[in-house]
Amino acid sequence: MGLKSVNQLLRMADEKKKAVVALDCGMFEEMECVVRAAEKVGCPAILMYYPGGMSATAFSAIATDLANRATTDISYILDHGPSYEVAMDCIKAGFPSIMIDHSDLPFEENVRLTKEVVRTAHLFGVDVEAELGHVGEACNEADYKDSSLFAKPDEVVEFIKQTGVDSLAVHIGSAHGIYKSEPSLDLELLKEINRVTDVPLVLHGGSGIPREQVRQAIKLGINKTNFGTEYDGRFAEAMLETLKTRDQNKFTYELAPLYYEKVTDYLEGLMHMVWDD
């Protein structure tokens, strides 16, 4: 129970052929709701920090405190770290795990920049996720339908060998944001990638993928499922509704349980989907 590294959670999930849900959180209340839901379901969960909102130091302090007091396993990670500097900023702030994403660059460049981050991160005992095959934007159909952009099994093997990453996000037909049309994950490709590596695999762009496909992907080797857009939208709606009907005698901190009530079904549903047998 308590704070774990992402790698510890993914290795455990891999053994059980399950996945750990990972949610982008921009605010303290969003983080707390994820932890409460995970405790209720009795599964692990990962809080993701997307740079640009609160500082890495603030996120780390809050996440560590929530994890240490949790009755289930909790971890947190930098999501889509854009540079060595941002990655180091998170390591300095105490993150147990980080992601570095140079998947938009040519293979060799992605290898070179990822390797640099992994080398330093490992010195500090921090594990690293990287990305191969660029998971693009869901508003561009080609980003998730053009299979020539997907991860290639031989490159996955080479990338892991050269960089030493601890987990890998692979592009198999998902994208970030709101999908223009229903995505269709390349599950055969995933099966092949999972066959050629033991490193835990990550699915980005989980929001809006039909749940049955996500479940299949978990059976075929995905150990971390990322959801950003859906949770962000649900939480914003929950806040809007709560604030519209706010009892004027209540302080803002007293409203947190009301947000939780409105997102709990969504969060618990996701957690059951990725964790139940």
With tokens 């971390």, the residue in question is 224
- The CB-nearest residue to Zn ion is 204
152 versus 204: smaller Cβ distance to Zn ion: 204
60 versus 225: smaller Cβ distance to Zn ion: 225
Contacts of 138 (CB under 8 A, 6+ apart): 144, 175, 176, 177, 178, 179, 180, 183, 205, 208, 229
Give dist(CA 82, CA 24) in Å, integer. 16
CB count within 10 Å of CB 65 equals 12
Structural contact between residues 171 and 132, judged by C-beta atoms closer than 8 angstroms: yes
Question: Which pair of structure tokens corresponds to residue 124?
Answer: 């500090």
Residues 68-127 close enough to bind Zn ion by CB under 5 A: none
Smallest gap from Cβ 209 to Zn ion, in A, equals 12
Smallest gap from Cβ 176 to Zn ion, in A, equals 5
Number of residues counted as binding Zn ion (CB under 5 A) = 1
Give dist(CA 68, CA 91) in Å, integer. 18
96 versus 205: smaller Cβ distance to Zn ion: 205
Smallest gap from Cβ 183 to Zn ion, in A, equals 14
Question: Which pair of structure tokens corresponds to residue 28?
Answer: 């303290």
35 versus 138: smaller Cβ distance to Zn ion: 138
Residue 24 annotated as catalytic: no
The amino acid at residue 94 is G
Q: One of 14, 24, 73, 79 is an active-site residue; which one?
A: 79
Residues 168-227 close enough to bind Zn ion by CB under 5 A: 204
**Is 234 a binder of Zn ion (CB under 5 A)?**
no
Question: Which pair of structure tokens corresponds to residue 106?
Answer: 């040519």
Smallest gap from Cβ 237 to Zn ion, in A, equals 22
157: helix, strand or coil: helix
Residues tagged active-site: 79
Binding interface with Zn ion (CB under 5 A): 204
